[in-house]
């Protein structure tokens, strides 16, 4: 499972880097930008999860005290969850294109994306993060990865912040519900 986790981390980070570079994540092309408590919670949780993942990959014996043994099928469910994470991460970045930002922001000439994966799921990138955390918990069989669940309140706050900014910007076209045409 160590190789699967390493591959998943590599692909996930590469996707983020690719889209950051492709769409020039600079402050100049934003009209509205906020750095709030959700960002702090999410980034703290990401640091914890990435740190634990690196320790698990490099020296798993350091985490043996929190290791558990799950039934054989459970880590494979984790692999499926990690696969869904990458699929949703790619689909959401691909569909957002230049509208994607690592921050809660409105860009110049911002368009509301309701096609592709966004036609079915309102926040697929955040769902990808949930699948990632669940996948890591199940694949590693290590209870320390439960600490990634502290990200959930941060994601909830982030979604609320995004919803407010999008509603203020798009007014009559927002909110939209996946499956409906705005």
- Quick check: 83 pLDDT over 60? yes
Apex 155 CA angle, 88 and 115, nearest 5: 40
What ranges do the domains of the chain cover? 2-20+30-173
- Quick check: 157 pLDDT over 60? yes
DSSP string, 75-138: HHHHHHHHHHHHHHHHHHHHHHGGG--SSEEEETT-----SGGGGT-S-HHHHHHHHHHHHHHH
Average pLDDT over residues 16-40: 69
- Quick check: 66 pLDDT over 90? yes
Instruction: Return the CATH number of 2-20+30-173, one of 3.50.50.60, 3.30.1370.160, 1.20.120.1630, 3.40.190.150.
Output: 1.20.120.1630
pLDDT, one tens digit per residue, over 86-112 is 999 999 999 999 888 877 778 888 898
- Quick check: 181 pLDDT over 50? no
pLDDT attached to residue 182: 44
């Amino acid at each position: 499972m160590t190789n699967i986790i390493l591959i998943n981390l590599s692909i996930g980070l590469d996707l983020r880097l690719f889209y950051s570079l492709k769409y020039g994540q600079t402050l100049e092309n934003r009209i509205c930008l906020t750095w709030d408590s959700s960002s702090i919670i999410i980034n703290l949780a990401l640091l914890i999860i990435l740190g634990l993942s690196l320790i698990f990959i490099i020296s798993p014996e350091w985490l043996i005290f929190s290791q558990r043994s799950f039934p054989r099928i459970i880590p494979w469910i984790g692999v499926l969850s990690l696969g869904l994470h990458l699929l949703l991460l790619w689909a959401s970045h691909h569909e957002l294109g230049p509208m994607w930002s690592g921050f809660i922001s409105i860009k110049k000439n911002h368009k509301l994306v309701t096609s592709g994966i966004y036609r079915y799921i309102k926040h697929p990138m955040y769902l990808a993060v949930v699948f990632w955390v669940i996948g890591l918990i199940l694949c590693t069989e290590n209870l320390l990865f439960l600490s990634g669940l502290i990200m959930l309140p941060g994601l909830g706050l982030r979604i609320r912040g995004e919803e407010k900014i999008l509603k203020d910007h798009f007014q009559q076209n927002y909110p939209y519900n996946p499956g409906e045409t705005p």
